Amino acid sequence: MTHPTARPRNAAATRQAILTSAITAFTRHGYDGVGVRDIAADAGVTAMLVNRYFGSKEGLFTEVVDVSFAEPTMVPPGPADLAAETAGALVARTAPEADHLGPFELMLRSAANPRAAEIIRAGIEKHVGARFTAALNGPHARERAELGLALLAGTWLLRRLVGTSALRDADPGLLTAQVTRMLSVVVEPPA
Amino acid sequence: MTHPTARPRNAAATRQAILTSAITAFTRHGYDGVGVRDIAADAGVTAMLVNRYFGSKEGLFTEVVDVSFAEPTMVPPGPADLAAETAGALVARTAPEADHLGPFELMLRSAANPRAAEIIRAGIEKHVGARFTAALNGPHARERAELGLALLAGTWLLRRLVGTSALRDADPGLLTAQVTRMLSVVVEPPA
DNA sequence: CCGGCAAGTCTACAGCTGATAACTTGTCAT
DNA sequence: ATGACAAGTTATCAGCTGTAGACTTGCCGG
């Protein structure tokens, strides 16, 4: 059968191909919305290799979450105008024409499953929450950081996944300004 | 076979029993997380009656969303201190020990499925968004209302479904105060 | 008393799920 | 060149999904 453009036998490369395929699949359709056969086929292998290399679908998802949440999206290092920059990035990436995939989409599409939600919680607390918290000064930084994340996640949900009309059709500038003001409440250290 | 406590043949009552069972099931496990057999069994009937009375699983979900989003949760009529009251209700209902089921849980657990998401969008725009918008004065009321909803939904997501530690263990009073301040940004009419 | 019609059920289908065990095939060191 | 081990595959499992058709059962008007 051997495919014309057959990949040479290479465990590391195959593992990586599965992981890459899984990242986009889980992000696009959520943990329960995709099967291991889809992921494997997209990587050009059979489904059994998922279990061989990642133990189980859940193990694969754990690694996907870890990788996806590790890359520093959404929180630029410059603390100069954190609220405005974050709001701008959010609005741009949730624009109807944008096709950005990332941790927010992954979280929103998989959080319905309790086991997936627990894996996501670990990922947030290890990566995103920590980064966001570190960018804030003053007391209650963790709570303020997670409230900021909540606003971003909720906006992403309504604007991209659900697609409510007001947020979908809103003027980007206006939207950025509003989100910036809401974010500032938790970004700027309390007096 | 006839069950000992058999319900008398009553189409309306049976339909209602299925609907009630579906509301709690969909809210607890999401659209994709529950099967029509589970719902029917919980209502004491066979799965076929779901199709008989609601056409399909999707038709049943549509009615569930409509009913669930119609009841005026989360937005009290008194516009006196809308932000504070809404924030208080949110924090109370998302407390770890609370077992409140409602439209937010239903939305968050089902939004991953695009078909369900579209049904939810319709429900929001028909009921929740309209109520929330009507409570706001000033320009861009719809955008501000949906941003408020986004904050509520995101907080619900992180605090209840995902369970990030900072929000889960936060002092309720402090949390209510922070959410109130963020909500005020969109609730109070811009100068 | 009983016939008709609606309420409700049984059986079945075609397709999917994640996972396991046993099998074949390619590659590299000797 | 060849043997050994890893890489990859095929076959299969038990269970679930939503829905369709044909069936039985109970109630209510005459």
Which tens digits make up the pLDDT trace of A106-161? 999 999 999 999 999 999 999 999 999 999 999 999 999 999 999 999 999 999 99
Residue B26 lies in a domain: yes
B9 Rama sector, left if φ>0, alpha if ψ -120 to 50, beta otherwise: beta
Of all nucleotides, the one whose C1′ comes closest to residue B34's CA is D17
Q: Are residues B76 and B55 in the same domain?
A: no
Residue B179 lies in a domain: yes
Residue B6 lies in a domain: no
Query: Among A61, A80, A95, which residue terminates a domain?
Result: A61
Instruction: Provide the 10 A C-beta neighbour count for residue A87.
Output: 25
Of all nucleotides, the one whose C1′ comes closest to residue A46's CA is D9
Q: Are residues A132 and A176 in the same domain?
A: yes
Say whether residue B134 is in contact with chain A using an 8 A CB cutoff. Answer: no
Mean pLDDT of all residues in chain B?
93
Considering the entire predicted model, what is its pTM? 0.93
**Closest chain B residue to A126, measured at CA:** B164
pLDDT at position A182, please? Answer: 98
Chain A contacts of B124, Cβ < 8 Å?
A: 158, 162, 164
Q: Are residues A79 and A54 in the same domain?
A: no
Q: Are residues A34 and A98 in the same domain?
A: no
Query: Among B19, B37, B61, which residue terminates a domain?
Result: B61
CATH number for position A33: 1.10.10.60
Q: Are residues A176 and A103 in the same domain?
A: yes
Best CA proximity match to A155, nearest among A98, A111, A93, A99: A93
Which tens digits make up the pLDDT trace of B19-68? 999 999 999 999 999 999 999 999 999 999 999 999 999 999 999 999 99
3-state secondary structure of A151: helix
Q: How many distinct structural domains can be found in chain A? A: 2
Best CA proximity match to B107, nearest among B56, B39, B31, B173: B31
Q: Are residues B121 and B162 in the same domain?
A: yes
pLDDT at position B71, please? Answer: 86
For residue B145, the enclosing domain spans 71-187
Q: Which amino acid is at B110?
A: S
Q: Are residues A56 and A140 in the same domain?
A: no
At residue B56's C-alpha, the angle toward residues B29 and B19, to 5°, is 55
Residues 6+ apart with CB under 8 A from B88: B176, B180
Residue A44 lies in a domain: yes
* DSSP 8-state code for residue A85: H
Q: At A12, give phi and psi (nearest 5°).
A: -65, -45
Chain A contacts of B164, Cβ < 8 Å?
A: 121, 124-125, 129, 146, 149
Banded model confidence at residue B75, pLDDT cuts 50, 70, 90: low
Q: Is the CB of A49 under 7 A from strand D?
A: yes
Does residue B72 carry a pLDDT above 90? Answer: no
CA A87 remoteness from chain centre: 16
Does residue A72 carry a pLDDT above 90? Answer: no
pLDDT at position B131, please? Answer: 92
Q: Are residues A20 and A43 in the same domain?
A: yes
Interface of A with B in 44-103 (CB under 8 A): none
DSSP codes of every residue in B24-81: HHHHHH-STT--HHHHHHHHTS-THHHHHHHSSHHHHHHHHHHHHHHS--S--S--TT
Q: Measured in angstroms, what separates residue A53's CA from nucleotide C21's C1'?
A: 17
Query: Among B43, B61, B79, which residue terminates a domain?
Result: B61
Q: Are residues B114 and B173 in the same domain?
A: yes
Q: Are residues B91 and B155 in the same domain?
A: yes
Q: Is the CB of A1 under 7 A from strand D?
A: yes
Q: Are residues B109 and B178 in the same domain?
A: yes
Helices (H) and strands (E) counted in chain B, each on its own, are: 11, 0
**Closest chain B residue to A170, measured at CA:** B143
